[in-house]
Amino acid sequence: MSADDLNKEIIVGAGWITLIVVIAIVAIIGIWLWATYNALVRLRVRVDEAWSDITVQLKRRADLLPNLIETVKGYAAHEKGVFEAVTQARSETVNAATPAEATVAEGHLQEALKSLFAVAEAYPDLKANQNFLHLQQELVDTEDKIQASRRFYNGGVRELNTKIQTFPTNIIAGAFGFTSREFFEVDNPSAIAEPPRVQF
């Protein structure tokens, strides 16, 4: 074999090796892009699902409130301002479309419920009413579920926002339109430190 033939074989062999290395690098980058995109989609879906869970619990609570109001009204019909405040706050909660709107609505509702239960304190017959007690227990249970749903949602938002903001995932997130989500926080944390309860 001549030196020219040997050089040609070396060049051809080196070309194949270079081609294989380039294909391997492209494949690794492609797999990384695919995995990163899918991870972002999974996180986004998890956050959407968690928000849906919150809205289900908010709706459940909103459905309980008219019955609670009617029960209290039977004993304290003259407390019209309290009933209107609860009804208005309920409407805000039901119509909240974003975590920011829900945060404001939650503050208003918690304050209105405190007023409603303060009215109930003044009526011993109401405090002993089985319907009122049942509705109150359902409301406490729902408040607990809302808090659990909120924690799950905020955990998902934290994961998604962290992934979107860290390098090099932020490049993929920006290219495909993934955006940070807002947390579902509470304006007045002391208002929800305890679910609304009436002690008997």
Residue with the larger pLDDT of the pair 130 and 192: 130
Domains delineated in the chain: 3-191 (1.20.1440.20)
d(CA 33, CA 39): 10
pLDDT, tens digit (0-9, with 9 covering 90-100), for 118-156: 888 888 888 788 888 899 899 999 999 999 999 999 999
pLDDT value at residue 190: 55
pLDDT at 196 exceeding the cut of 80:
no
Beta strands (DSSP E) in 23-87 are none
pLDDT value at residue 123: 85
d(CA 80, CA 177): 49
pLDDT at 179 exceeding the cut of 90:
yes
pLDDT band at 80 (very low <50, low <70, confident <90, very high): confident
0.85 surpassed by pTM: no
Q: Which amino acid is at 57?
A: Q
d(CA 196, CA 81): 19
Which residues make Cβ contacts (< 8 Å) with residue 141, sequence separation at least 6?
Answer: none
d(CA 155, CA 43): 10
Q: What number is the average pLDDT over the span 159-178?
A: 95
Return the CA Rg of the chain: 29
Give the HSE-up count for residue 188: Cα atoms under 13 Å, Cβ half-sphere: 12
